[in-house]
Amino acid sequence: MRPEPYAWSLHPEATLGIVALGLAYLLVFRKHELPRWRVACWAAGIGLLLATAVTPIDPLSYHLLTIHLLQNVVLAEWAPALLVLGLPPALARALPVHPVAGLGVWLAIYGLWHVPFVYDAALRSPPLLHLEHVSYLAAGIAFWLPLLHRPFSDAAKALYLFAAFVLASPIGLLLALLPGPVYGYYEEGRGLWGLSPLEDQQLAGLTMAGEQSVVFFAAFLVFFLRFLRAEERAS
């Protein structure tokens, strides 16, 4: 049974996990003097996680692929970036995540959960869907951690982001360009907002590709401009 599309729900497993993250941060905050902007980033990340769990974003994801991909993007990109920015640098540097491993894990998780039979199975199995969401969050943290807290060059960080965009963007582009729906779960549903399964898939793909273009280009530009300024000072 698909949930009502505009229902709010506490989802105890997800909510308790998010609250636990918040409480863990309070313990960290007591041991480290953190600037307010880092605390604000962590709070914003927690807020995004709560939004994906308790607001109508969650039930709508069972009716529209577009909303499900938006939920996945929040879990795999936006919330992890904010949580990582909120970490104390000393603690973040102690977490052993190599850039190649972080990028590889993030790409592997994105690719795995978009395989059609895996995607459909997760929507039909709540435990598997919880695993999907947790793995997206963990992979997102592994992706952003070396970028935001490791002392490698700005040029390398810009290249890291460029590689992430080039290797991840085909998923959204494929969904937008394929001539038929690829996920049986959404074909079986009645759809919503007057969108056919194919129109929903095309919109989902364009939304995902567009979001990644904006987010990764903006982050790439930050590090690329920092690299250019450093080169200018050096010369």
Q: Are 135 and 110 in contact (CB under 8 A)?
A: no
Q: What is the mean pLDDT of residues 54-68?
A: 94
Q: What is the mean pLDDT of residues 33-61?
A: 92
pLDDT at residue 32 tops 80:
no
pLDDT at residue 145 tops 80:
yes
pLDDT tens profile 80-136: 999 999 998 888 888 888 999 999 999 999 999 999 999 999 999 999 999 999 999
- Looking at residue 83, its pLDDT comes to 95
Which amino acid makes up residue 24? A
Radius of gyration from C-alpha coordinates of the chain: 19
Q: Taking the CB of residue 83, how many other CB atoms lie within 10 A of it?
A: 24
pLDDT at residue 69 tops 90:
yes
For 18, residues 6+ apart whose C-beta sits below 8 A from its C-beta are: 46, 49, 50, 53
195 strand-pairing partners: 192
pLDDT at residue 223 tops 80:
yes
- Looking at residue 151, its pLDDT comes to 82
Which amino acid makes up residue 95? L
pLDDT at residue 29 tops 90:
no
How much of the chain exceeds pLDDT 90, in percent?
Answer: 65
What pTM does this model have?
A: 0.92
SS (H, E, C) the chain: CCCCCCCCCCCHHHHHHHHHHHHHHHHHHHHCCCCHHHHHHHHHHHHHHHHHHHCCHHHHCCCCHHHHHHHHHHHHHHHHHHHHHHCCHHHHHHCCCCHHHHHHHHHHHHHHHCCHHHHHHHHHCHHHHHHHHHHHHHHHHHHHHHHHHCCCCHHHHHHHHHHHHHHHHHHHHHHHHCCCCCCHHHHHCCCECCECHHHHHHHHHHHHHHHHHHHHHHHHHHHHHHHHHHHHHHC
pLDDT tens profile 179-209: 999 999 999 877 788 899 999 999 999 999 9
pLDDT confidence bin for 164, thresholds 50/70/90 = very high
Q: What is the mean pLDDT of residues 166-187?
A: 92
Q: Taking the CB of residue 122, how many other CB atoms lie within 10 A of it?
A: 19
pLDDT confidence bin for 139, thresholds 50/70/90 = very high
Q: What is the mean pLDDT of residues 159-182?
A: 92
Separation CA 132–CA 108 (nearest Å): 12
pLDDT confidence bin for 37, thresholds 50/70/90 = very high
Instruction: Report residue 195: phi and psi, to 5°.
Output: -95, 130
